[in-house]
A and B are shown apart, each in its own frame.
Chain A
Amino acid sequence: MAKELERAGLPTVLVTCLTNVAEMVGANRILAGVAIPHPVGDPGLAASVEQQQRRRLLLRALEALTVPVEAPRLFAVGS
Chain B
Amino acid sequence: MRLELAYYEIRDVRFGGATRLDDHVLTINREELSATLLEDERLGGMDLALAHPGERCRIVHLTDIQDARVKVSGPGEIFPGMVGGLAAPVEGRTNILRGLCVAETAEMPGMLESVVDMSGPVATLTPFSSLHHLVLLPRPADGVGRVPYGHALLKAGLRASVYLAEASRELPPDDLVVSELPIPGEPTGDGNLPRVAYLCQVSAIEDLREIFLYGGRARQMLPTLLHPHELLNGAIVNGIFDTPACRRNVTYGHVNNPVVMELIRRHGSDLRFVGMIVTPTPPTLREKERGAAMAAKLARYVLGAEGIVQTKGGGGHMVVDHMLACERCEELGIKTVLLNDRSVDTADIYTSERADAIICTGASGVDQWLEAPAMERVIGGTTLEGGDAREARRLPLTRVQSATDLLGLGRVRAIEF
Contact = CB atoms under 8 A, between A and B. Distances in A.
Interface of A: 17-21, 24-25, 32, 34-37
A34 B285 contact: no
Interface string B277-300: 000000111000000000000000
Contacts of B317: 18, 21, 36
B349 A35 contact: no
**Closest A-B pairs by Cβ, 4 of them:** A36-B283, A35-B284, A21-B349, A21-B350
Which secondary structure characterizes the binding site on chain A? mixed
B351 interface: yes
Which secondary structure characterizes the binding site on chain B? loop
Contacts, number: 28
Interface of B: 283-285, 317, 320, 349-351
A36 B284 contact: yes
A66 to B, nearest CB: 25
A21 B284 contact: no
B320 A20 contact: yes
A37 B282 CA distance: 11
A46 B3 CA distance: 52
11 contacts: A18-B285, A18-B320, A19-B285, A21-B317, A21-B350, A24-B349, A24-B350, A25-B349, A32-B285, A34-B284, A36-B284
Given A24-B349, A35-B283, A36-B317, 13 more contacts: A17-B283, A18-B285, A18-B317, A18-B320, A18-B349, A19-B285, A20-B285, A20-B320, A20-B350, A21-B350, A24-B350, A24-B351, A34-B284
A21 B283 contact: no
A25 B320 CA distance: 13
A48 to B, nearest CB: 23
